[in-house]
Amino acid sequence: MNEQVTGYWLATLLQPLVLLLAAPLLVGWIKRIKSRLQNRRGPAVMQPLRDLRKLFAKQPVVAKTASPLFRAAPYVVFASTLLAVTSVPLWSIWLPSTTVADVIVLVGLLGLGRFFLALAGMDVGTAFGGMGSSREMLVSALAEPAMLMAVFTLAMSAHSTNLSSIVAFNLDAGVVLRPSYLFALLGLILVAIAETGRIPVDNPATHLELTMIHEAMILEYSGRHLALMEWAAQLKLALYGLLIANLFFPWGLAERFTPLEGLGALALVGGKLLLLGALLAVAETTLAKMRLFRAPQFLNLAFLLTLLGLLSNVILESGL
């Protein structure tokens, strides 16, 4: 009994550390696959980690016009994202960190990070920063309702907004074809693409002034500030990957944490994330980035899908 409790806390403490390491690796993996698809060798998978280390070693340069908020923002963004990521079940369902938080808190934490990110973008007063912030707000204002609808669809089936309960419910139910899950999954994927700034909404690989969103906001950052911002963005990508993988395909997650099961679950989750990353790379290679003004249409689609998910949950699944 005592051993088990230790195991819990160990798992809870280890989860953020594992994710901190894994998130840059996931980004590296996606870049690698994309390069391969474009017939390039591409950087090593470790490269994002090395970049982070290098950035932390450098002295940050801060503009004269910057307020204290500019300095504080990276820490807030990083901390809120890390907290958010900790509340998502990674390898085990019933962990203290995942049971205290539910989806609404998760969305709130992400919102907090985004709020400071947008403020920081405007703080220095450059044209690009403000532009990026306004675009980010446009996208997130449309993405957030869709995201909430998607998780509510899941919550309605599971009768709980707690992520652990939802995952446990899905794990129990086994293979059930639910039209609402299909819609919610599709909607969540679209939201994830928009929120993490991937093609076709934003392109993480370029600094094209006409189109960039995320990159425009962090243009003024350098050194460890930049490292924190980048790291937070990588964590966010991992977070959405985790949500998709563990909410919709929870098989392999450990109900109660033991080291062995935990490792097995971690391997499975890692595999799912790698697969998702590869799919993302393929999608990004085949799709073209769309005009910014079409982004609302894209997100309307996401909203519609999640709304349909909610409706089909009510209409069709009363008997399920």
Partner 1 sequence: MTQLPLLEQAILVLAALTLLASFSMLAQSRLTSAIHSFAWQGVMVAAATALVAAVGHAHHLYLSALLTFSLKGLLIPWMLHRLVRRLNMEREVENIAHPALVVLAGALLVILAYWIALPIERLELASTRNIIAISLAIVLLGLWLMIARRQVVTQVLGFMSMENGLFLAAVASTRGMPLVVELGIAFDVLVAAVLFGVFFFHIHESIESLDTGKLTRLTEEEPA
Residues that bind partner 1 (CB under 8 A): 175-180, 182-183, 296-297, 300-301, 304-305, 307-308, 311-312, 314-320
Nearest CB to partner 1, comparing residues 72 and 301: 301
Smallest distance, partner 1 to C-beta of residue 177, A: 4
Whether the CB-CB separation of 114 and 140 falls below 8 Å is answered with yes
Task: State which amino acid sits at residue 21.
Answer: L
Q: Going by C-beta distance under 8 Å and a sequence separation of 6 or more, which residues neighbour residue 192?
A: 198, 240, 241, 243, 244
Task: Report the DSSP beta bridge partners of residue 162.
Answer: 102
Smallest distance, partner 1 to C-beta of residue 291, A: 15
- Measured CA distances, 260 to 4, 200, 255, 256, 267 (Å): 12, 40, 12, 11, 11
Nearest CB to partner 1, comparing residues 263 and 315: 315
Smallest distance, partner 1 to C-beta of residue 77, A: 31
- Count of CB atoms situated within 10 Å of the CB of 75: 14
Smallest distance, partner 1 to C-beta of residue 70, A: 36
Nearest CB to partner 1, comparing residues 62 and 307: 307
- Measured CA distances, 28 to 19, 59, 74, 149, 159 (Å): 14, 24, 22, 31, 37
Nearest CB to partner 1, comparing residues 108 and 296: 296
Smallest distance, partner 1 to C-beta of residue 316, A: 5
Smallest distance, partner 1 to C-beta of residue 179, A: 3
Nearest CB to partner 1, comparing residues 143 and 242: 143
- 141, containing H or E segment: helix 127-158
Whether the CB-CB separation of 80 and 239 falls below 8 Å is answered with no
Smallest distance, partner 1 to C-beta of residue 268, A: 24
Nearest CB to partner 1, comparing residues 137 and 301: 301
Distance (Å, rounded) from C-alpha 139 to C-alpha 103? 20
Distance (Å, rounded) from C-alpha 58 to C-alpha 226? 10
- 198, containing H or E segment: none
Nearest CB to partner 1, comparing residues 199 and 302: 302
